[in-house]
Amino acid sequence: MPVAAVLEPYVYEGGVHKHGLIIELLEDLGGYLVQSTPAATEINLVMLIPRKDVPLMEELAKNILGKLTRAPLTGTEIAVVSPTLAYHHLPHSACDVAEHLRRDGANTNMLGLARGMGRRVALSQDYERKLINEHDIAVYSFGNFSDCIMNKKPKLFSGVDVPIVATGGPDLSTDDVEGADVYVGGIGRVSHRLRNEGEIDSLDVLNKTVGEVVDKLREEISRDPLAVLPARVMKEIKEQVPEINDVLTPAPITLQLDGMRVKLPFDQFHEKLEQLDLDEDVSLSDVANIMPSKMKDYILIKIRRRSETGFTI
Amino acid sequence: MATLEKFVVETTVEEEAPPYRKIVSDIISDLGMAGRIAKIKVAIRPEDSLFQLVAVVRGVLPQVILKDFAEIQKGDHEGEILITISVEKHLPRLLQILWDRYGRDSLEQPDRWTISLFVDNPEEEIGSLENLVVDDPRRTLKSNLADMAIRVAPEGFRVRYHSLNGNNFIFVASEDTMQKEWIDEAHTMLKELKGDDASGSSA
């Protein structure tokens, strides 16, 4: 059964006061807490809630004066790729794009290419392509000129196997941008924060478009389901590998549609993860590939499909 | 941006000019240069990897000399020079220059308007200090203009030509080898910008 059919992604925004009740209820209902981000007296909880129990959670959130909103991009890790990390692209618009995607629950990584600028001279490196391919989706943030976007920049897509969403200023059709799965216009190079009405609308369109790509990926996964839900593996890691609680990054375990990134050193912890008990006589290495990530010395887990393992748990 | 007499952005595809105009105006505002530029024209031909910017700047302010805003006299202690300033906005730049020249240990600041400087031969130093150039708006303007042009230009265009002749600034950038025609074209653009007063008003 597909992930989306059983568990619904939601984000809770509210005060720190009594937010423990939300977590308790979530555990009782059999849902999963994906990420918890406290900020002074406020807290954001990204969760997967069993669909039939969503009204219960909504009621509790209302009682403690919090807000529960659907976050369709929960459980995805998205690479926001900009041609470089220079001020031409950052913090606007690439960071604005990443921030808007995070509002819908996605985990984003900003990825500035070393030599992605320009037209003739633009190129990507093997390491960068491998890093992008570790994500669920790559969102490329381009500039204002249709000639560049149509004729020169698509070479940055080569070697990228994950779905590509390209953004840029001009209003082009997806067919004009060779290699991109979707093109979203209205988000080109700017030197100010994207906050005008038209700009926010374009970011909303981007989120919706990325959401559609995620839906397609989830549908594709549902045809040959994963041997185990990534959220469940995450829960087991939190229980069986206590060191993960000492990791200070915002998302120590970053969920992906078909796996996760565990932010622990590979050399020290890969054996522990391989032996992680999921069920009687089933350890994580039976249902997933555990490999070193290209990002720092992290661990990348990709869960195998039922057709490969012959069972689901 | 109301202070600009003329502000033109031209691109090959007409619809792509307004977003670029916004980038130029944002950067001019960020650098606080709106009051310094009278006219500006930017032309971009992405298909040729060409960016041209010409601008006419307003009259440049004269140099700021120390004696213009400070009183310099001998102090009560041996080897002491007392500098009493009357305009505080030049103080950070003045301190930096004095620190670089005499070292931090030789300077004291009893209050925000006074600097005590200890040197070996105060008489000689007073003479040279009086004519010390604390700020040169022309130099600052030149570096600010170059900074603005580099920020405005597309990132990959790293082959650059720039000149500031009198009040006329020209900047050409590309990712390919610089061509003489492009620079000549920019000079013609500048001539047109200066001569065309149809839509501008004299400030």
B42 burial type by CB count under 10 A (0-12 exposed, 13-18 middle, 19+ buried): buried
Task: Give the mean pLDDT of A262-274.
Answer: 96
At which of A24, A44, A71 does a domain end? A71
pLDDT of residue B36: 87
Rounded to whole angstroms, the Cα distance separating A168 from A189 reads: 7
Token pair for residue A224? 């040959």
Q: Do A147 and B49 touch (CB under 8 A)?
A: no
A1 pLDDT exceeds 80? no
- What tens digit of pLDDT does each residue of A136-191 get? 999 999 999 999 999 999 999 999 999 999 999 999 999 999 999 999 999 999 98
Determine the average pLDDT of the residues in A91-104: 92
Asked whether residue A66 is assigned to any structural domain, the reply reads yes
Residue A2 confidence (pLDDT): 42
Task: Identify the band that residue B115 occupies on the pLDDT scale cut at 50, 70 and 90.
Answer: very high
Q: Mean pLDDT of all residues in chain A? A: 93
A94's CB contacts (< 8 A; 6+ apart) are A80, A82, A110, A141
Q: Which domain holds residue A18?
A: 7-71
CATH architecture of B6-61+137-194: 2-Layer Sandwich (3.30)
| Chain A nearest-CA residue for B174 | A118
* B20 interaction partners in chain A (CB closer than 8 Å): 144
Q: What is the largest CA-CA distance in chain A?
A: 58
Q: What confidence score (pLDDT) does residue B142 get?
A: 86
Query: Which of A119, A122, A191 lies closest to B27 in CB terms?
Result: A191
pLDDT at B201: 38
Comparing alpha-carbon positions, the chain B residue that sits nearest to A188 is: B19
**Which of residues A171, A190, A219 is at a domain's end?**
A219
Q: Is there a contact between A146 and B26 if contact means CB atoms under 8 Å apart?
A: no
Cβ-defined contact of A147 to B175 (cutoff 8 Å)? no
Domain presence at residue A2: no
Enumerate the residues of chain A whose CB falls inside 8 A of the CB of residue B151: 87-88, 191
> Which of A147, A148, A169 is the closest to B19 by Cβ?
A169
Using a CB–CB cutoff of 8 Å, tell me whether A144 touches chain B: yes
Residue A265 located in a structural domain? yes
Residue A4 pLDDT > 90: no
Q: Is residue A60 part of a domain?
A: yes
Q: Can you tell me the distance from the alpha carbon of B95 to that of B104, in angstroms, rounded to the nearest whole number?
A: 9
Got the DSSP string for chain A?
A: --HHHHEEEEEEEEESTTHHHHHHHHHHHT-EEEEEEEETTEEEEEEEEEGGGHHHHHHHHHHTT-EEEE-TTTT-EEEEEES-SSTTTTTTTHHHHHHHHHHTT-EEEEEE-SB--SSTT-B--HHHHHHHHTSSEEEEE--S-HHIIIIIGGGGGTT--S-EEEE-SS---GGGSTT-SEEE-S----SS-S-SHHHHHHHHHHHHHHHHHHHHHHHHHHHS-BSS-HHHHHHHHHHH-GGGGG--SS-SEEEETTEEEE-S-HHHHHHHHHT-EEETTEEHHHHEEEEE-SSTT-EEEEEPBHHHHS---
CATH number at residue A56: 3.30.70.260
Same domain for A158 and A249? no
How many contacts (CB atoms, under 8 Å) link A and B?
67
**HSE of B202 in the Cβ direction (CA atoms, 13 Å)?**
1
Q: Where exactly are the structural domains of chain B?
A: 6-61+137-194, 64-135
Residue B173 pairs with which residues in a beta bridge?
Answer: B51, B160
Q: Are A55 and A87 found together in one domain? A: no
Q: Does A196 touch chain B (CB under 8 A)?
A: no
Residue A64 and residue A120 share a domain: no
| C-alpha gyration radius of chain B | 23
Looking at the fold, whether A67 and A81 belong to one and the same domain comes out as no
Interface of A with B in 275-294 (CB under 8 A): none
User: Is A120 close to B154, i.e. CB distance below 8 A?
Assistant: no
Mean pLDDT of A52-60: 94
CB contact under 8 A, B47 and A147: yes
Total number of domains constituting chain A: 3
Counting other chains too, the contacts that A171-180 makes at CB distance below 8 Å and 24 or more residues apart are: A172/A146, A176/A146, A176/A149, A176/A150, A177/A149, A177/A150, A178/A150, A178/A154, A179/A154, A180/A140, A180/A154
* Interface check A88 vs B, CB under 8 A: yes
* Inter-chain touch B26–A191, beta carbons under 8 Å: yes
Nearest CA of chain A to the CA of B22: how many Å? 8
What burial class does residue A280 get, using C-beta atoms within 10 Å of its C-beta: 0-12 exposed, 13-18 middle, 19+ buried? Answer: exposed
In this model, does residue B59 exceed pLDDT 90?
no
- Cβ-based contacts of B176 with chain A (< 8 Å): 120
Check whether residue A214 and residue A112 sit in a common domain. yes
**How many whole angstroms separate alpha carbon A299 and alpha carbon A253?**
10
Q: Which residues of B touch A88 (CB under 8 A)?
A: 151, 154-155
Contact assessment for residue A279 and residue A286, using Cβ atoms and an 8 Å cutoff:
no
CB nearest to B175's CB, from A86, A87, A121:
A121
Q: Do A145 and B46 touch (CB under 8 A)?
A: yes
Contact criterion met (CB < 8 Å) for A88 and B49? no
Which pLDDT value is given to residue B196? 59
Q: What is the mean pLDDT of residues A241-267?
A: 94
Average pLDDT over residues A284-292: 96
Query: Does some domain include residue A198?
Result: yes
User: Residue A190 and residue B22: Cβ atoms within 8 Å?
Assistant: yes
Q: Are residues A210 and A275 in the same domain?
A: no
Q: Between chains, do A190 and B13 touch, taking CB under 8 Å as contact?
A: no
- Whether the CB of A149 is below 8 Å from some CB of chain B: the reply is no
* CB atoms A144 and B16 under 8 Å: yes
- Assigned CATH class of B64-135: alpha beta
CB contacts, 8 Å: B150 with chain A: none
Segment A56-60 mean pLDDT: 95
Return the percentage of chain B with pLDDT > 70, whole number.
Answer: 95
Residues of chain B that touch chain A, judged by Cβ-Cβ distance less than 8 Å: 11-13, 15-16, 19-20, 22-23, 26-27, 30, 44, 46-47, 49, 151, 154-158, 175-176
HSE-up of residue B91 (Cα within 13 Å, Cβ side): 13
**A84–B contact, CB cutoff 8 A:** yes
Q: Are residues A91 and A207 part of one domain? A: yes
For β-strands A7-15 and A42-50, DSSP reports them as antiparallel
Contact B46 A147 (CB under 8 A): yes
- Please tell me the predicted confidence (pLDDT) of residue B3: 73
Q: What is the pLDDT of residues B149-160, one digit of tens each?
A: 999 999 989 999
Query: Is 80 exceeded by the pLDDT of residue A211?
Result: yes
Q: Is A89 at the interface with chain B, CB within 8 A?
A: yes
**Minimal Cβ distance to B49: which of A88, A120, A191:** A120
